[in-house]
Structure 1
């Protein structure tokens, strides 16, 4: 495995930022790492890169222990942090030359990285002159410059326009063919467009770790229905295949069913049998966004 976290915890005083999390990722896999603000995503990524040490647990990158030998592990890692730290007074090529010198790699790799991230037209400019989207590209170029086996990208598409998003998505997918990519974002469409697998973390604990295909093939349907007068939740429990019921307000309910069958006709039949009128009805299959909300609210 390129990445192997085992029972990782991180405490800040009495606050537990990450609590006993374990997961692994292999070469050729793009993993979406999701969670609300404060869930522990950035802490986990900083532990993976050796930037901070875990309170307990072990971290391996390409079988190198990150805690015991962080420098050796970091040779295998490309990291783009959430707040992309760049030297704004440097020119793009000057900055990448500086990064290349740190990694002790051939300067010929710079033009290759610039081309990969689409920075050719901006390479002669100072970083401070660039838009936020192009600064992200500079950070990404720096992350892939030494051709690492593992890429850790924390919100890499922040500030990109729609055209740039398509290009960076394609780049990440291309890089994921022969690297392990851990990709953190708040944008669900990005995950669905780029990732093979999804890990959702909430309050420092992993609540989902599944293949994206498996999540998309979920049999769950979410139906919002409004009746003409108020009824009790227990009454709705008589419906078949009910997974959960939530009262939105007054006579409006959100009902989650587990079934491949369209449950709307069942709702209409149920209403007719009990003398109810349906005033509103909206249906959606359980997608990644609705699953994320359900697990993290």
Structure 2
């Protein structure tokens, strides 16, 4: 698996969301994508998965331009957006059957993923009946159902209780042993627990791209390092 982001820029009117971003990502990495609110993280993730049109630059996934190979690229990417769009009137297993049909994958895989993300007790419920934690797990299940090479997660533990956070982290850690994960989060303990590399975006620019120890550097914690790097 390889992902190359080359001179990527994106504007919304007069506002520059991404300003000539260059990033290279290889196989079996869990990368913490950090930045203040409005830094450009979600814009970058949506650009990679093809949910936003690229203004300038290129994104190469496994050596191929994602804009010219959209279907092939999306077959090998999984995405859990921050707002986790689900169909509330569908039952959990019904929804995952629907996703499996879209990807043309075997139905046995559904039960494997249900067990992996820990939603076995809830699989016969309507999505609308689930707690936020279980909805997040259903969103994660759809993102990994087709065994993508690249998994992109936008605030995956947002709103979860401490036990749920640990469980979701364990799932992500397992996936990261074989796949590449880009994880956007504001929770520095999450970065510490999961990530080997940090990419920090501020005002549409990559200002740090390094391993976690170098990112922390002279600071006492990741929070201190983050605050220093992004201080106006």
TM-score scaled by length of structure 2: 0.97
Matched residue, 2:37? 37
The 4+ residue runs of structure 1 with deviation greater than 2 A are 213-216
CA distance in 1, matches of 2:215, 2:163: 27
CA distance in 1, matches of 2:60, 2:34: 21
CA distance in 1, matches of 2:225, 2:135: 32
Quote how far apart the aligned CAs of 1:54 are: 1.3
Residues 2 and 61, structure 1, Cα contact 8 Å, conserved in 2: yes
Quote how far apart the aligned CAs of 1:156 are: 0.4
Quote how far apart the aligned CAs of 1:15 are: 1.3
Aligned positions of 1:90-101 closer than 5 A = 90-101=90-101
Cα RMSD, aligned residues only: 1.0
Residues 77 and 151, structure 1, Cα contact 8 Å, conserved in 2: yes
Quote how far apart the aligned CAs of 1:64 are: 2.5
| 1:76 has 2:85 as partner | no
CA distance in 2, matches of 1:88, 1:199: 34
Give the length in aligned residue pairs: 231
| 1:170 has 2:104 as partner | no
Query: In structure 1, the residue corresponding to 2:54 is in which secondary structure?
Result: coil
Considering Cα pairs closer than 8 Å and 6+ residues apart, tell me whether 1 or 2 has the greater RCO. 2
Higher Cα Rg, which structure? 1
| 1:293 has 2:222 as partner | no
Quote how far apart the aligned CAs of 1:291 are: 1.1
CA distance in 2, matches of 1:213, 1:286: 11
Show structure 1 runs of 5+ residues with no match: 221-284
Matched residue, 1:111? 111
Residues 208 and 215, structure 2, Cα contact 8 Å, conserved in 1: no
Higher strand share goes to which structure? 1
Aligned positions of 1:191-230 closer than 5 A = 191-216=191-216, 218=217, 220=218
Matched residue, 1:59? 59
TM-score scaled by length of structure 1: 0.76
Higher helix share goes to which structure? 2
Residues 2 and 149, structure 1, Cα contact 8 Å, conserved in 2: no
